Amino acid sequence: MAIYEGMKEYMEDKFISEFFELDDELDELGVFDSIMNKDSHFFINILRLKKSKTPEFANAYNRVNEFFGTLMLLLDNSKEKNDKLYNAALNRFDFPGVNGINLGLSETGVDAGFGPVLSAQVINDAFEIVKAGSKQPEIFQLVGLFENNVAADRLSDMIASIILEDIKEYTRRINRELNLDSEHYGEITFQDGIAINPYKKCELLYVPKEILHEIPIARCWSDIDRVISENEAIRAEVNEAVGSEWGKMRAAEKKDYLKQYVFKDAKRCGRLINGYKNADIEEYSVEKDLDYFVSDTFKRMKKSGMFEFLEHADKSEISSLDAAISILKIFKEWVEWNKGWDEIQSASTTRREKAVQRLLHLSGKHYCTENNIDMSFEANEGPGPVDLKISRGNDKTVVEIKLSSNDDYMHGYEQQIEDYARAEGTDKRIFVYVQVGNPIRDSKIQKRHQQRVENGENPPVLFMIDSQKKKSASKS
């Protein structure tokens, strides 16, 4: 694998379906097609687990509550902190993390779990809550509301640890149904009916999509606010306790307030738990997550055969502009003739342009890897870097991408890309204009480009991609 200038060694996301060379079998069985070499931003939602229709998880919710019920019983009968029963509860609260399910926010792929310090803090606070009169096992399901450094990903690891045997049995059944075993995959290591993930050196475990939900990672939206926004009963208790002051508090202050004035108030905590137990959260579509959507779409792009191009005979002769045009032509072919337009249209309107930018970025990386071309890429992660830069030493081409739905499309064409080109010291510029259903703008930018060409202005290359919904051939 080549090393590219200005970035780390490139490794594409590897899905379970790709690893086993499957088609749509996992999706048809409701299995989450996880990325094996990194974590995806989802977590096991306890309320979704409660509604699971998957046989292996029929009693999982009760098993979780029985586990937490035992902890509550130990703490309730404990006379003081650090006595025998208290320490028994602490020893049971041991959740190192389950790496095999590939969920969470870990950059390394290794889940942090709770650890001894955080576990001790949770048991300490749970003890105080129990002694204040609140003894419901569901309190542990809501530990993220009153404990710092505990959010959805850690709660997911905790739940996964408790129901690990259910997860393993589910994995074994799926493997049996799809003949995923050493007999059919001799090059893959299996242990007790479960494949070993070569990227993480651990078991490759599956979970059903129906029990998953998104992990909120927006800077202005903490996990505590997500839980409250989703649950009417919790929101009502918060409003009664703090009202308008809530929005002014930092996340840590919110958690401390809930611990002191809700969870340690037996009546208020009881109302909260009763409301929480009756809460209902709809199944989450994993495709709504931008990162997963892009990776999953790129997986299908590769499978469509769009990258089955001939290698250049003399790679040393390829200019950055030629490479950029080749990448864009491959992408255009996929969009316009291989139903790529349908993938782009399926992305949420607020994230569609970002999805196209990332897909083009991945396409460019893949193209250069296959052709062993030494080039660098820069994704647009906000105001600043150009969407795509391809370079060979001082030979650079900058590419700016705008959807026709973007109000700044003309500014991007006339000003933005020129600024980026000057900053990079190049006159090689390509403006990619993706049509998503704005015919007036389509005509306007084409006329403007033609005017600039006729006036001898040397405008950027205008590369148009038609991503509008296509009519069926039978209806044309």
pLDDT for position 6:
33
| Residue-level pLDDT at 249 | 75
Tell if the pTM clears 0.75, that is, is over it. Answer: yes
What is the domain partition of the chain in residue ranges?
A: 16-277, 289-475
Give the number of C-alpha atoms closer than 13 A to the C-alpha of residue 260, restricted to the C-beta side.
7
Rounded-to-integer distance, Cα 125 and Cα 129, Å: 6
Pairing of strands 212-214, 395-403: unpaired
* Angle, CA 371 vertex, CA 370 and CA 375 arms, to 5°: 105
Q: What is the 3-state secondary structure (H, E, C) of 273-328?
A: HHHHHCCCCCCCCHHHCHHHHHHHHHHHHHHCCCCCCCCCCCHHHCCHHHHHHHHH
HEC profile of 173-234: HHHHHCCCCCCCCCCCCEECCEEEECCCCEECCCCEHHHEEECCCCCCCCHHHHHHHHCHHH
Q: What percent of the chain has pLDDT over 70?
A: 84
pLDDT reported for residue 358 = 87
- In terms of Cα–Cα distance, which of 258, 341, 410, 368 is closest to 9? 368
Q: Tokens 């030979």: give the residue.
A: 395
Instruction: Residue 51: name the closest of 286, 287, 280 by CA.
Output: 280
Q: Give residue 228's pLDDT.
A: 66
Structure confidence at residue 124 (pLDDT): 95
pLDDT tens-place string over residues 410-464:
999 999 999 999 988 999 999 999 999 999 999 999 999 999 999 999 999 999 9
Nearest to residue 125, comparing CAs of 89, 175, 167? 89
pLDDT at 475: 47
Q: Which stretches of the chain score pLDDT less than 50?
A: 1-10, 218-221, 310, 313, 379-383, 474-476
pLDDT of residue 430: 96
Q: How many CB atoms lie within 10 A of CB 229?
A: 12
